[in-house]
Every structure is written in structure tokens, then in C-alpha cells.
A and B are shown apart, each in its own frame.
Chain A
Amino acid sequence: MGEGDAPADETPPASAETPPASAETPPPSDESPPPSGESPPPADAPPPPGPDAPPPTELDPPPTDSPEPGAPAALPQPGAPAALPTPEPGPASGAPPPEDDGTTLPQVRLAPPPPYPESAREAGLEGSVLLELALSELGLVLDASVLQSSDPVFEGSALEAAFGLQFTPALDADGRAVPMVLQYRMLFSLDVVATVGVEGVVRQAGTRDPVVGATIVATPFVLVTDGAPAEEGAGEEGPGEEGAGEEGAGEEGAGEEGAGEAGAAEAPDAEVVLREDAAVTVSTDADGRFVLAGLDPGSWQVVASSPGFEADPLDVEVAAGEVVSLTFWLAPLRPWESTSADETMEIIGFRLPPEITERRLDASQVRYMPGTGGDIVRAVQTQPGVARTPFSTGALLVRGTPSDASGFYLGGARLPLVFHFGGLSTVLPSDLLDEVRFLPGTYGVRYGRHLGGVVDLIPRAELAERSHGKASLDLFQASVFHTQKLSDHWTLTGAIRRSYIDAILGPLVNIDPSYSLRLPAFTDGQLRGLYVDDRGSSVDLMALFSDDRFTFTELDGDGDNTTSKIRSGFVKGRVGWNHVLGKGWESELSFMAGPEATQAEYQGSQEAYEQIQREQLRFEVTRPVPEGGVVGWRMGMDFESSREDFKYALDDLDGFFPYADPEEGDVRVLRPGLYLEQTQSIGWLQGTPGVRIDWMSTDEGWFALTVDPRFRMRAELPNGTVLNGGVGRYSQFPLLRETLESSNGNPDLGPESAIQLSVGAQHEFFPGLSLEGTIYYSALSQLVVGLDNRFTFELAPPPMAPYDTDPYDNEGTGKAYGLELLSRYEDKRTFAFVALTLSRATRIEREGQEPGLFQYDQPVMLTLSGSRVLPRGWRAGGRFRLTSGNPYTPIVNSFYDLDEQTWLPVFAESNVARMPTWWALDVRVDKQWTYRTWALTLYFDIQNITNRRNVELLNFSPDYSLEIPVYGLPILPAFGLEAQW
């Protein structure tokens, strides 16, 4: 039996999952005449008919002429036991006067059958329940109570079904809708035939997820020719709306039995007349299923709709004794409202965030942001407070701090790297993540050891409702992701990605015979098992790896090849255990361990590497402030142990870059940390004092302890405006190499520190439009300076000369301050935001020096981004970015080193010049084809569509007499395909 086919020969009891039976047959009543001259039975009506009694449809058949709107006749289905509701309008407190007062009594529009009690069915028991219903002006049941029942076993089912009843409004003598109380008898008979007309299920096209709470409206229609109905009743032709169903169901269409046939037979001159006054409305249940019972035989238009989806109309022919099964495939209006694996994240700007400035990124929104490649983590780089890095590499420069001052985490455990080479994509698929938390500063005690921002990638915590997956293919890489639902408590997820930019673009970039560039090749993969029990406790087992390789070969003046190789990667295993302790307490345990390595090789003889075996353990216990409570707690342990083996022996790339002396070390490092914070809630004001204690020690004898008190507060004003602020101390330990005397380090170095202060406000002007503003100030001290010319593995370009080549010291200080504004707009089809940062960051490198600008000081950073859903699966978006150029130190003269046969530059004052303003416009167009069980998306993502020549860096002529700008990406059209199932 195919999906959606009717179980025609089944005889299940009445339930939500089986073709139920219903009929409303207003019997005569002495007390209050029923509609159409019939009278309902009195409150003390005789017991319902026994098993031998004929079904009410036989006793009181509905009118055989055209029924009144809203009083559809029953459809028989032989053999099914049925509950038969019978309205009995009668006097009650507050009830409107009877019909002879000019009142029009309500009529049943829809009467879903109550579930037939299993015990009664097995016992062959029949009966009835007399209910009293309070109806609203609209005819909806507001209240129901049992007045009388033949057996208590039926009462529960009757009450359950009562709230699903729908009536036409009761009208007073003036024709105004009025509330009413009436009596209603529901009959339970084993012999009566079922009367289901249409049943079915509503699913999301592409993902097959059930659409819960979808509205199903069935409207009878007739075809009128020259003002007269062409045909009525059975065989009426449907409206046959052009294109009906295509949007929702795609090329495969709905394909339901009996659906759409009426439309196909429509007479050319016939006019479709919908009898909207007779429309019947139901909603889908938790499984996306629905039942339309009691429809008159004839032509019906059935429309399924749900917020965020394209409505899907189908025409059906309802015939006596038949049940039409329908499956609606609703296409989402906006992909980010769907429930596929990577589309449930949200930017929540106005929830009660635990942090002062916490920006949560919605993968389904940013995946269509031009220039991000659909990568949610790359979208962090467009957030306020984040400076743009040259060539848009994966470095994160937050609030005037360098890239090594910010950290990336996976569920609280630090990741060694997040971006593959060049920042093309992250090492984790967005599908694996629940959300990305971006904390630019003044965050709580959970995070430490950073002066900059924190990005925490939160693994998906909830079980997938069904198995699903995705495969994508673009210019740079291909990936496959699949989640398999193993049981109600277990899912298994696997993903793998491989770039092939080296294979495709390699021949194009290697036209010049003087060099050979093997473009970055990267691979990453993940395997994850997730267990969630009924209480919400979970166990998360994950294994992941990443591998990047890059080779560059150049012919030097001797005709010899000069080869550079870089490789980096990691293999990690992670265990997460979230446990609900009760009484509002929860615990989180995460452990991640595995090797990570980065290697560089030059000419086969010079090399640099970092090989680290790292174990990280976090255990945290939290209790949020309970509803109506006052105190909340967070306390935890953040422990890290590592064995770090490093060597930097790239001392001179043939004069290309005069590195500092080689460094080498092999050290065991411990970085334990403890933190505690308490939240006090007083009315609309919340204050959260806390403290974090970290220490770091090495087996070389280096030790440091930091104590960082922090305080945050938050107030939610009556108008919904949220004010927040915080102040705290933040510490960052020196790099291991900087502390080792054996590797040119300074064992007397201490931790770097910052005092951060921020205040902000958030307001939602109207649903969809919001504004957030934050003012921040950060005073940096004890910054480690020196040996700028050392070799480092960095995502960002190395600092431009001049270099401080003196030994390491804690002499650096600095300031960073600014204003961050983020305004978002969202409606059903549009998502847009404006991010503006006005900032200044300065440094004093050594005591006694004059302040200078920070290397990435960008006073103005502006991002405008928007995406809009267009008809027929199209989507278009654009992004405009503008940032101030980075400061640099001009070269004002040079002299010649005769030994090295090269020129040496002479610099002006530090960072007194600035590169030109950088701006770029990116556009993206998507076209999605949605089929029943999968969806296909083709996109074109054109970066820098105006081909703006932005200066990213400066090179110089050999004698430094000329500045040679190095431009960023030219216009870069890219395309890709993505299939979801």
C-alpha cells in the first residue's frame, strides 16, 4: 500500500489514525427545536440505542436535498464502529432564546469522531453521552461537560472529541453572532457505518517531515455555466487552478487518488464557484495527519497551509462510501523555517541571553548570505566588532585584539583550528551544529584564557525526528552528511568533505613555468552517536578529523626548485554527557582528546612543526534562575593538559623572510581552571557576579595564576527594551614558546590581561525589526611583545614590518573601544541585517614608546546583507561590506646589504599610513527544486561583482622605492549544487 492510500478494508476503532466515523443527525427534540425544524432530544432523553438499534443515520437521515452549508452529510464506511454525535441545543444558563425568538441555532460544521473506547469495543458495548457545550460567537467549543452518559467508559472519549467540534455561529434575531450553550448527544455504535470523506497527511516537501498544526480547509465548489450550475453534487468539477500543487509538490505533483481529477474535467466556459460559507477546517496532529469527516459527496477543494509554507490546494471528488487519501507536500516559503538538519538555528537577539553580547547565528539564514559559502562560522566574521582580515582568511580579530586572542570551541572544548586553508570552510559541517555562539567580550566565567572573543560551536543536542542527509558539490569541495535515526533514543551521524580545488584549479594557476603551486587540499570527517533519554539527559560520542595540505614550488635564480610544504590537522574524540539532576540543576561533562599537528617544510631541510597531544575536560553544574525564583548558579571546572612538542627552524627562507633564531621544545603543560558565578534576580533586574581562576604550569617550571572577577547585569524594561552591562578582568597566558628560556623565551613572562567594560541595549520596534547597540572599552596590559620576526603558524598574514626583534617582555599595553550596532529585519520572505562598528584600537609596544594604531585598527566596519525569497523556488541576496583600510608603516628609504645582496627598508613612524578603504559587493542567486522526498538547490555566488580592486597588502620593489599593492579577490563567480533528503 502506498503512502497515503486508504485502508479501505480495515475496520479499526475510531481513532485519530484510522478512518473515523462521524455523523451528525439532529434528532427531534421537544425542548428546543433543532435547525431546519428538527428538535433535539431533551436532556433526559432515553438511553441511546443498543447494539440492535439501527444507526442514527438510518433513524434520522440527513436531508437528502442539498444540505445546509456547514451541515455535511455522513459518508458511510461499512463495518466500522462509530461514535455518532447528535446536537441537542437546549436551554441553559445564558443560552440565547430558542428559534421562535428569531434565533438561528448553530449547526454542526465539523464533527471529528471520538475515539471508540477499546474496552467498550471489545465488550461490544454501545451507548451515548449527553454533553453541554458552551460555544463562542464563532461557533467554537469553549467548554464541555457531561450531563448524562449510558456508561462512564464513553465520557472521556466524548469530552476529548467535544473540543474538536465546529459549529456555525448562532445568530440572534438581528443576525448577529452570539455565544450559546447547547446540549449535544454523542452516540457510540458498533454497527453504524463510518463516514470519513477525506483523510491524509501533510509533509514538508524535500524533507518529508510531518507538518504539525497545518490548517486544512475543505471547500465545496460548483461549476457554473452562464449563471447556472453546470453540475452539482457528485461529479462536480473542481476549480482546477492553474499550477495548483506545483509549488508545493514539485514536478512529481501530489499524485493522490482522486485528487485533481475534477479540475481536469473542467468545462472551458465553466466558472468555479467556491462555497466558502460551507468550508470545513481542521488541523493536523503531531504526526501531520488530518481527517475530514462528514463531507457531502461532490467536488471539494482541499487546501493545506501552514505558516512559512506555500499553500497547496488539491481538488477531490468525495463519493459516498469512499475515503480519499491525500498527501500534501508543502514547500517552505523560507528555508530557515524548515526543520531540516541545518535549518533550525536562529539568531535570537531578544531572548534572555546569558551573556551581555551574545550573537547566535542561524545557519539557515546565513547559508544564503553571499560570500560565506553557506558556512555558519564564516558568518561570524560579518558580525559587529569583528575586523576583516586580509584575503578573508579564517582569522578572527575581535575588538582590537589579534587572532590568537580569540578562541574557537566545540561544546566548551577548544578546537585547534576551525578553518581550512584560506578560510574557505570550517572543519565541521554546519549540519552537525545546533548553534554558533559568538561572544565578542565581557562574557561570563564559563570562558577564559582569552583577551578577545569566543566562538563556541554547539553540537546539535536534540535527536533528529527522522533520518535525513545532504550532499553538496561546489567549485572547491564536495561533502556528504547523513543522520540515521536508529531508535527513539539514538541517532548516528556521519559526514565527510574533500576539497578538489587542487585538482581543478591547479592546472589553471600553474601556467607560469617558473613555479608550481599545488593548491590547498583538505579533508575532514565526523562520526557521531547521540543518545537522549526521555528526561533530556544525553550522551554524545563524536570522532572528528581534519587534514590540510599545501605545496608551493618555485624556480629560483639557480634553476633549482624551492619547495614549501605545509600540513595541518587533528584527530579528536569527544564525549559529552548532559544530565538532568533535578530540582532545576543540570550537569554538563565534556571530554575531548587527541593529537593535533601543524608542519611546515622548506626545501626539505628547514622545518617547523607543532605536535600537541591535548586532553580537555569540562565539568559544569548549572541551575538557571527558576521561574519566580531569585538565585541561579553556575560552577565548573575547565581542565586542559597537553604535551607540546615544537620546533621552528625556518631561520631564513633564502633571505625571503629573516626569521629569528630557531626554537625547539618538548614540554608538558597543565592549564586547570575553576569558575563560579551566581545570578541574583530582583524583579526585572538580574546581576551576575562571578570569578574565574586559571593557572598554567609547565614541567620546565613556569607557573602563573590568574584570578578574574567579573560582573554582569541585565534589566528588561516594561517596554521590552533590554539593558545590559558588565565589567570584568580577562587573562591570557603567554604562548608556551614565549616562556621557555631554551627557545629564546622569557621565563619571567606573566599573563596578559584586560579590563573589559561594556554597556548595551536591545529593542524590538515591531515584530521583525530590531536594533542592538553596544559600547565597549577594553584596557589591555602586560601584553607580550618582542620577536616579531619569529616563525608562527598564523591564519592571518604576518605583521608588516618593522619588527620588534627584541626579546619577549610584558611591556605592551593598549586600548580598544567602540560602538557596535546591529539591526535586523525579518519577515516571511526577507532576512536582512545591518552591522556597523565604529572603533579604535591602539598599542604601546614598549614602555616609553608613543601610542600607535593596532595593526588591524579599522575605524569603520559596515556590512549590509539581505536575502529574499522569490516565487517558484528562487531566492536572491546581496551583501555589501565596507571597512577602513588597515594601518601600515610606510617605507621611506632603503639601503643595500652587500652580504645578502638585498635591500633593507627604512621605515617611517609606526602605522602612520592607512591602506585604501576596502569594499565589495557580493550577490547570490539560488534556485530550489523541491520534490516529495528531497530537494535540489543550484546556486550562483558571485563575490566582488563589481570587480573592485581592493588593496589587501603592500609589496615593494626590490629596492623599496615603489609600493606594489597586492589586491584581493577579483570578481569570483562560483556555483554549486546541494541535495537534501
Chain B
Amino acid sequence: MLLPLLAFGCGATGWEPTSIDELRVVTITTDPAEALPGERVEADAYIADPDGDPSDIEVMFWTCLYVDDETCAEPLFASELEEWVTIGTGSGGRFSTAREIPSQAWNYFPDDADRVTVQVFLLACEEGLCPQFERVRAGMDARGIDEEIAAELARPDLWLANLPMEGVALATRAYPVSNRDPGLRNVNPEFDARFPEALTDAINVRAGGIIDLIFQCRDPNGESVYAFPVTTAGQFDDRKVKCEDEQVRLFLEAPAAAGEGHVWVVFDDRDGGLAVYDQAVVVR
């Protein structure tokens, strides 16, 4: 029968570890958590690259509105797409951009819908590994990005197969575009770090030691908030911890050897609202 056999195989198995050992997009946060067409949105991508220098990473943002499961908004956003295609080099493991939602986007949404999503992609590559950067640069002109590249970006699974697994990270998330009353829109969760090390420039921990990271966390919409911690310095004891009574406690197990790393704790309301605690770690 199916369920027992699913337990045997046919997919990814086990829980994802909390330790990051290669290039990865930790998350993409947006402010606001959902926006009206025409509204300006700030997006922040958190990129982990434990083996390299994040400044050597090329990063590309783009968004797609999938209409009839076709291409990336082609030709709907032909003129505005360039507003959402951003190519640059990351800095300090964080890449930010701010763009405006195409104002006419709502014309293509169903009449009775008050909330739809666009897909946000972020491709991070070690420099020179991803030819898509050059193709997009070349395809962008005064009229925007050409249709061929737009279609290509809509199906990253088709060309990702030709890229190496190491040194390349692609992440995606849905971003809600809302027509709802502002009081009903989702907002990002909030958090406060409540452990002493949070007040310093970096979390200091003894090699092989364990340190508690305590946060107060809440969601203005009253949704449950979960903390997803990841680090390049050791590991956490749990991958997903629910904020109970507006508090969450995480245990970071430092590596046995001294060094430096980073901690990210993503607070997720599971409805598109995200907030990130981002801190360096020094292992003594």
C-alpha cells in the first residue's frame, strides 16, 4: 500500500540539518508581507556561504506571475519585469532590493480574488558558474527583458539541471499581492532577542559548548510563529520550534574547533510572513 511504501522511499528522506555547509539562500523576507499592486516592496535575501566570501556571490532576483501555467508573466510584465530583475553581487551574506509591484498586475487576477501570489526567485551563484547572469544582462535593454529570457526564467528547473549543485543556490517563495483591507493583510512576525549575547556584535561560544538563544516572538495577526534556526557554526538541537507563550528557546551546539560562523533564525508565520535574526558567531 502506498503509505507504508512512502515510508520506504521515493523522495527526500530525513529532516534537513540545521547546519549549513555550502552556499545556500537562507530566506527572503519582504516588507510589507503582502502588498498592493503599485506598492513598493523591500526584499532582503540572506545568503550563507560557509566556504567562501559572500561578496564573490552573484545574486539575481526575479518574479513571475504564472498565468495558465505558462511563462514568467510573459508578455504581461514585459515592460515591468525589468523592475523585478535585479542582478548584483551580494555583500555580507545579505542582499537587498526594493521594487514596485506592477500596477497593472491586478488586471490579470481573477475578479473574485482578493489575494494572489507571485513567485519570487533568487539565484545565488559563485561568480562565473551561472551563465544566466550574462544572458539576462545581455537580454535587458531599454524595452525590458526579452521574451525568450523571460520564458527561460519562468522554468528554472529546465536549466538548473545544467548547473552544478555546488556553488549554486536557487530559492523561491510565493509573495502575496493583496487587495484586502489593510487590517486584514498579513504582516511579518516580530521578535526580540532575549539572551545576553544578543547585545554584542557576535555570539561568543566555547568550542564544543552549548548556548541558549531565547527570543520573544509574536505575530501581529495572531498566527502561530515557528522558528527555523540554521547556522554555519555547529548545529541546533531542533530544526523547527514553535513559539509558545510568545517565547522560543533554541540550543546552539558549537563545533569542536574554534572559528567563526553565522546564525540565522527565521521566524515564519507559515502564511508568507517572515522575519530573520541574523548574527555572527565566534567560537573560542
Contact = CB atoms under 8 A, between A and B. Distances in A.
Contacts of B6: 653, 656-657, 798
A78 B238 CA distance: 99
Interface string A863-904: 000000000000000000000000000001111111101111
A158 to B, nearest CB: 72
Contact of A906 (B157, B169, B171): B157
A225 interface: no
A896 B169 contact: yes
B161 A568 contact: no
Contacts of A958: 12-17
A956 B12 contact: yes
B11 interface: yes
Nearest to A961: B165
B245 to A, nearest CB: 15
A552 B169 CA distance: 35
B24 to A, nearest CB: 7
A901 B228 contact: yes
Contact of A955 (B13, B16, B160, B242): B13
B2 A902 contact: no
A550 B6 CA distance: 14
Contacts of B108: none
Interface string A396-425: 000000000000000000000000010000
A793 B1 contact: yes
Contacts of A119: none
B249 interface: no
Interface string B145-173: 00000000000110011011100111111
A568 B3 CA distance: 13
Interface in B155-211: 156-157, 160-161, 163-165, 168-174
B25 interface: yes
Residue in B10, B14, B164, B240 with the greatest tally of chain A CB atoms within 10 Å: B10
Interface in A828-868: none
Nearest to A888: B10
A957 B14 contact: yes
A421 B4 contact: yes
Contacts of B157: 895, 904, 906-907
- Chain B interface size, as a band, is 35 or more
A391 B239 CA distance: 32
B250 interface: no
A568 B1 contact: yes
Contacts of A552: 3-4, 7
Contacts of A903: 12, 16
A619 interface: no
Contacts of A8: none
A901 B11 contact: no
Contacts of A901: 16, 228, 240, 268
A796 B161 CA distance: 29
Residue in A794, A901, A953, A961 with the greatest tally of chain B CB atoms within 10 Å: A901
B26 to A, nearest CB: 9
Given A557-B15, A895-B156, A899-B174, A906 B161 contact: yes
B4 A566 contact: yes
A267 interface: no
Residue in B2, B5, B25, B172 with the greatest tally of chain A CB atoms within 10 Å: B2
Contact of B12 (A794, A796, A902): A902
B7 A956 contact: no
A486 interface: no
A954 interface: yes
Interface string A597-631: 00010100000000000000000000000000000
A575 interface: no
Contact of B172 (A791, A794, A895, A964): A895
A893 B16 contact: no
Given A906-B161, A955-B13, A957-B14, A794 B8 contact: no
B222 interface: no
Interface string B241-258: 010000000000000000
Given A557-B238, A797-B8, A908 B161 contact: yes
B13 A956 contact: yes
B9 interface: yes
Interface string A655-666: 011000000000
Contacts of A796: 5
Contacts of B12: 902-903, 905, 955-960
A321 to B, nearest CB: 73
Interface string B11-50: 1111111000000110110000000000000000000000
B189 to A, nearest CB: 15
A453 B12 CA distance: 34
B171 A798 contact: no
B147 to A, nearest CB: 22
A894 B173 CA distance: 14
Residue in A600, A893, A959, A964 with the greatest tally of chain B CB atoms within 10 Å: A893
A896 B24 contact: yes
A742 interface: no
Given A558-B240, A964-B13, A893 B5 contact: no
Residue in B157, B240, B268 with the greatest tally of chain A CB atoms within 10 Å: B157
Nearest to A953: B9
A566 B1 contact: yes
A801 interface: yes
A956 B11 contact: yes
B90 to A, nearest CB: 16
A28 B274 CA distance: 125
A914 to B, nearest CB: 16
B88 interface: no
A893 B9 contact: no
Contacts of A794: 1-2, 5
A893 B168 contact: yes
A952 interface: yes
A148 interface: no
B4 A800 contact: no
A906 B242 CA distance: 31
Interface in B76-134: none
Nearest to A600: B3
Interface in A542-587: 550, 552, 557-558, 564, 566, 568
A952 B9 CA distance: 9
Interface in B224-242: 228, 238-240, 242
B139 interface: no
B272 interface: yes
Interface in A936-973: 952-961, 964, 966
Contacts of A36: none
A558 B3 CA distance: 21
A959 B16 contact: yes
B13 A421 contact: no
Contact of A550 (B4, B10, B168): B4
B10 to A, nearest CB: 5
Given A898-B173, A958-B16, A953 B1 contact: no
B280 to A, nearest CB: 22
Contacts of B15: 557, 958
A792 interface: yes
B143 to A, nearest CB: 29
Interface of B: 1-17, 24-25, 27-28, 156-157, 160-161, 163-165, 168-174, 228, 238-240, 242, 268, 272, 274
Given A898-B172, A964-B13, 18 more contacts: A421-B4, A557-B238, A794-B1, A892-B160, A892-B161, A893-B160, A893-B161, A898-B274, A902-B12, A954-B9, A955-B12, A956-B12, A957-B14, A958-B12, A958-B14, A959-B12, A960-B12, A966-B8
30 contacts: A393-B5, A550-B4, A557-B238, A557-B240, A566-B4, A600-B1, A600-B2, A794-B1, A800-B10, A892-B160, A894-B165, A895-B171, A895-B172, A896-B169, A896-B170, A898-B172, A901-B16, A901-B228, A901-B240, A904-B157, A906-B160, A952-B8, A953-B8, A953-B10, A957-B13, A958-B15, A958-B17, A959-B16, A960-B12, A966-B8
